[in-house]
Amino acid sequence: MPTLELQHSILRYIQNLNETQHNPEDWSDWLPKIGCPVDSNDEAVVELEVFPDRPDLLSHETLAKASRSFLAMGDGNVAMEVLEGNIKMDVDPSLRKVRPVIMAAVVREVDTGSNVEEKNDFIQSLMDHQEKLHLTLGRKRKFSSIGVHDLSSLSPPFRVITVSPSYSFVPLAETERMSIDQILDSHPKGAEYAHLMSELDRFPVILDSNDDLLSFPPIINGDHTTVNEKTTDFFIDVTGWDERACEACLLLICLSLAERGGIVESVRVTGCDGSSINTPRGDERQHRVPDRLIRRILGLEMSTEDLSNALVRMGGRLDESRTVTDGPNKSERWGDCAAGEQEHIISMPRWRSDIMHPIDIVEDIAIGYGYENLPKEMSSVHIDAVPLRSSNLKRRFGESMRACGLQEVQSLTLSNEADQFEFTRWPSGGSRTTIANPITSEHTLLRQYILPSLLRLLAANRHHELPQRVYELGSVVRDTRNRERGAWACAETGSGFSTAKGMVQGLLRDLGAPLDEVGFVATAPNMGPWIAGRGASVSVRGQAVGEFGEIDPLVSSAFGLKSPIHAGEFDLLALAELIPDPVI
């Protein structure tokens, strides 16, 4: 996750309910306890990291609310107050197969700052929060996308319909009208998210009563609804495919604005299925948590007071502790208490979308109680470890390589077609597993051979003195299945095919192979990375297990290497099947 900078004004905002001031050093003490490791802090800035499991901490305001609860400076309110508004939004049935989840809210009288600089900082912070939610909960706008608009520029009620690709409007930050086709083809945001619209022939838009466009979700807003320094009333729309993600995004934007004094109002949304609901809901969610789960995970008996205090610090509330009389609640997947057991009824904010199981509540209890206060106990479970047969083989392979003076390395399992097949002249060892959206041309598939990775490693270190002798035990992927292979490469002068063959013979002896059943056959010219006549295929009991030899200068040159290299690669699975394990 990207780091989040807390400006000094936000630090003061966190403290605004209490006159007690905190030194800068204090932030690095308690912020990590709510899931925000502090990278650095001084009098002006606190730089921290927000873990992916806490999307409710991605804005200054929501982080401030969580911080006040943790410091016992909050009001203890688990719910968010939502007034019933009079604005309506109708969703056309055609949205059912286009973008079916539609939610909206209004937030009025938001304090955006006292001067132009503060107002601009607020707008930038709001945009950053929106994009962080798009990236995390929204899965890059696929699950959910958010539109934030200046309510004063709109004329309710609103409607959501689908339009043809020729429909045009003025996009955000543009001056000329563009058709949807043009936006998806040439606008930066349109090109970035066009893949979300690839299978559609009609596209979603949100219009007001004057047929002016608010938003073309999930791509871009209309220009006339842009939030500016004078905006105090906001209209928020959230659309997508995942109802939980959409609700969490809407609640978190509303919460951040409510923390600035905004008044949240619901919008009456008539969905594409004809049902009508008010969004958002600000009430809390109730969870049933077995007491035995808390005791088993945390290793202590917690009093009701300690449990309640821990939950309050995490923004929750203990509603009731009771003995179950009716057995498990079949309608609620959380309630797994048998009759006679104790359970706790716990309320947590609805915007805490990360809470999906009772164990998540237990984690919050542990954080609120303090990890440092948990009992220090040794594990009561004793298990004797038994090494896997494959571990014995890998151990002996590594010991043999190290006995020859080679150093173990670990490289990426990502590679590319040129390194794996074109440069080394090796055929594909089965169907290839390619990367759907590769970040770089160097990493387009999962490797089928390890030796090309070692050659790349030697190339990256070619400015260091020789000899360089490395080996690797690692995974390759063939026919969508992982296979273990071992390879080595030695960049050095004064050695060649004879040295490589000696290493192979020593390796097979160390693995316990019957040497009278080991065969060497010269590889065909240009079949593999070897110099013609100086490469060999190795077989055990008639089955090929690997290859070795001197690397052809043409191959070395393709990898940017000029020094003599001898190398080899073996299939560990084939070796394991053909050579009895002497340890067993």
Q: Where exactly are the structural domains of the chain?
A: 3-70, 82-279, 286-372, 389-578
Dist CA 127 CA 383 (whole Å): 52
Q: What is the pLDDT of residue 376?
A: 83
Q: State the chain's mean pLDDT as an integer.
A: 87
Average pLDDT over every residue of 108-119: 93
Which of 224, 225, 236 is CA-nearest to residue 266? 236
Q: Are 520 and 542 in contact (CB under 8 A)?
A: no
Q: What is the pLDDT of residue 406?
A: 93
Average pLDDT over every residue of 302-315: 93
Identical topology for domains 3-70 and 286-372? yes
| Confidence band for 4, pLDDT divided at 50, 70 and 90 | very low
Q: Which CATH number, 3.40.1350.10, 3.30.56.10, 3.30.70.60, 2.40.160.20, labels domain 3-70?
A: 3.30.56.10
What are the tens digits of pLDDT across the range 367-385? 999 888 888 877 777 777 7
Q: Are 552 and 530 in contact (CB under 8 A)?
A: yes
**Is the per-residue pLDDT at 455 higher than 90?**
yes
**Is the per-residue pLDDT at 269 higher than 50?**
yes
Which of 28, 51, 31 is CA-nearest to residue 40? 28
Amino acid code (one letter) for 422: E
Q: Are 361 and 355 in contact (CB under 8 A)?
A: yes
Class of 82-279 in CATH = alpha beta
Dist CA 263 CA 299 (whole Å): 43
Q: Are strands 276-279 and 414-415 parallel, antiparallel or unpaired?
A: unpaired
The residue length of the chain stands at 584
What number does CATH give the domain 286-372?
Answer: 3.30.56.10
Say which residue, 527 or 43, is predicted with more confidence: 527
What are the tens digits of pLDDT across the range 39-80? 666 666 777 777 888 899 999 899 888 888 888 777 778 999
Which of 39, 574, 25, 55 is CA-nearest to residue 353? 55
Q: What is the pLDDT of residue 10?
A: 46
Helix H or strand E segment including 432: none
Average pLDDT over every residue of 401-419: 93
What are the tens digits of pLDDT across the range 216-240? 999 999 999 999 999 999 999 999 9
**Is the per-residue pLDDT at 16 higher than 90?**
no
Q: Which backbone phi and psi does 272 adopt, to 5 degrees?
A: -70, -15
Omega of the bond leading into 358 within 30 degrees of 0 (cis): no
What are the tens digits of pLDDT across the range 119-143? 999 999 999 999 999 999 999 999 9
Amino acid code (one letter) for 231: T
Q: What is the pLDDT of residue 17?
A: 36
Q: Are 145 and 154 in contact (CB under 8 A)?
A: no
Dist CA 41 CA 528 (whole Å): 55
> Assign residue 150 a region: left if phi > 0, alpha if psi is -120 to 50, beta otherwise?
beta
What are the tens digits of pLDDT across the range 417-437? 999 999 999 999 889 999 888
Q: Which residues contact 504 (CB under 8 A, 6 or more apart)?
A: 538, 546, 548, 568
What are the tens digits of pLDDT across the range 172-183? 988 899 999 999
Q: What percent of the chain has pLDDT over 90?
A: 67
* pTM of the shown model: 0.68
Dist CA 574 CA 546 (whole Å): 9
Say which residue, 392 or 46, is predicted with more confidence: 392
**Is the per-residue pLDDT at 331 higher than 60?**
no
| Confidence band for 30, pLDDT divided at 50, 70 and 90 | low
Amino acid code (one letter) for 164: S
| Confidence band for 336, pLDDT divided at 50, 70 and 90 | low
Q: Which CATH number, 3.30.930.10, 1.10.150.120, 3.50.30.30, 3.60.15.10, labels domain 389-578?
A: 3.30.930.10
Cα-trace Rg, the chain: 31
Say which residue, 392 or 245, is predicted with more confidence: 245
Amino acid code (one letter) for 6: L
